[in-house]
C-alpha cells in the first residue's frame, strides 16, 4: 500500500504519521504493525473494543516503544469538554495535558479528530468530535497548555479523522455550528477554533478516516461500529 501524500511538516515514518515541532513530537498511528485480528487488525489501541485485551496491551506496548516514552497518559473519553492535567486513567476527560518528560498524552479515535498541542515544556492531546468542538474543548485545552507554557510558539497538529467529504450530519449538529449542508467540516471548525484560541501554527494532515484505504485507518462509521481505534499521542522533546 502506498502512503497517501501529506502536507509538511507531517511525514510518514515506519507506516505512521509523524510531526516534529520545537516543543515536541506528535504521532498519529495507523492500523499497521500490530497483533490484533479480524475487524481489529492489526494495531488496535482501543481498550473498550471487543478485541482481546492482551492483544490491545501488546499493541499499546509497541506504540509506547516507538515513541520511546515511559508512559501513555489517557483518561476515559466521554465526548465531553473536560481537560485532565497530569490525569489518571479513571478520570473522565477528552483532553490530556502534561509537563512531565517521558509521558505522552494519548487519545484513541476512529473518526473523531485527534489534535496535538505542542509548546516548549508542555504538550496536550485532544479527542475532538462534534460535541467536544461545540462545547469548547479546543479553547480549554489551549488555555491549559498556555498556563504551563506561556512563552514560545504553540503548534497544533490535526490528525486523521472524518473529513468534509464524508461526515454526514443532521440539522441538529449543523445548528450547533451555524452551518448547513449534507456534511460537516470538523477539521475546518477545529482549525478556526485553534487560531481563535491563539495557536501560532495549525497544521492539518488532510486525511479522512472514512474514505482512506480501509487497510490504513479504522472508521467507526465506515465499519458499522465494529472496528478498532488508532491513536494520537504527543510528548515533549
Q: Which domains does the chain have, with CATH numbers?
A: 11-236 (3.60.140.10)
How deeply is 29 buried, as exposed, middle or buried, from its count of CB atoms within 10 A (0-12, 13-18, 19+)? buried
**171, pLDDT greater than 90:** yes
**1, pLDDT greater than 90:** no
Name the DSSP letter for residue 28: E
Neighbours of 206 (CB within 10 A): 14
Tell me whether the omega of the peptide bond preceding residue 9 falls within 30 degrees of 0, making it cis: yes
Helix axis angle for 137-148 and 186-196, nearest 10°, is 40
Average pLDDT, the chain: 97
Name the DSSP letter for residue 39: G
pLDDT of residue 161: 98
Cβ atoms of residues 46 and 232 within 8 Å? no
**14, pLDDT greater than 90:** yes
Q: What is the pTM of this model?
A: 0.98
3-state secondary structure of 197: coil
Mean pLDDT, residues 30-41: 98
**70, pLDDT greater than 80:** yes
Mean pLDDT, residues 162-190: 98
Mean pLDDT, residues 194-222: 98
Cβ atoms of residues 30 and 217 within 8 Å? yes
Residue with cell 515536541: 24
Give the closest residue to 22 by CA, choosing from 204, 201, 233: 201
Amino acid at each position: 500500500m502506498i502512503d497517501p501524500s501529506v502536507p509538511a511538516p507531517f511525514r510518514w515514518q515506519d507506516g505512521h504519521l509523524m510531526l516534529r515541532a520545537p516543543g515536541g513530537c506528535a504521532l498519529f498511528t495507523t492500523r499497521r504493525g500490530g497483533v490484533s485480528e479480524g475487524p481489529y487488525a492489526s494495531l488496535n489501541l482501543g481498550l473498550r473494543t471487543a478485541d482481546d485485551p492482551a492483544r490491545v496491551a501488546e499493541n499499546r506496548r509497541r506504540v509506547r516503544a516507538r515513541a520511546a516514552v515511559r508512559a501513555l497518559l489517557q483518561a476515559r473519553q466521554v465526548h465531553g469538554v473536560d481537560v485532565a492535567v497530569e490525569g489518571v486513567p479513571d478520570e473522565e476527560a477528552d483532553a490530556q495535558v502534561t509537563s512531565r518528560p517521558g509521558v505522552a498524552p494519548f487519545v484513541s479515535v476512529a473518526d473523531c479528530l485527534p489534535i496535538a498541542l505542542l509548546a516548549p515544556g508542555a504538550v496536550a492531546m485532544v479527542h475532538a468530535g462534534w460535541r467536544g468542538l461545540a462545547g469548547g474543548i479546543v479553547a480549554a485545552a489551549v488555555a491549559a497548555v498556555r498556563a504551563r507554557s506561556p512563552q514560545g510558539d504553540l503548534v497544533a497538529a490535526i490528525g486523521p479523522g472524518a473529513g468534509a467529504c464524508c461526515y454526514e450530519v443532521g440539522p441538529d449538529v449543523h445548528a450547533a455550528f451555524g452551518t448547513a449542508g449534507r456534511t460537516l467540516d470538523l477539521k475546518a471548525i477545529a482549525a478556526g477554533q485553534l487560531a481563535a484560541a491563539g495557536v501560532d501554527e495549525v497544521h492539518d494532515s488532510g486525511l479522512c478516516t472514512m474514505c482512506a484505504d480501509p487497510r490504513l485507518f479504522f472508521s467507526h462509521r465506515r465499519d458499522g461500529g465494529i472496528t478498532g481505534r488508532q491513536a494520537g499521542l504527543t510528548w515533549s522533546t
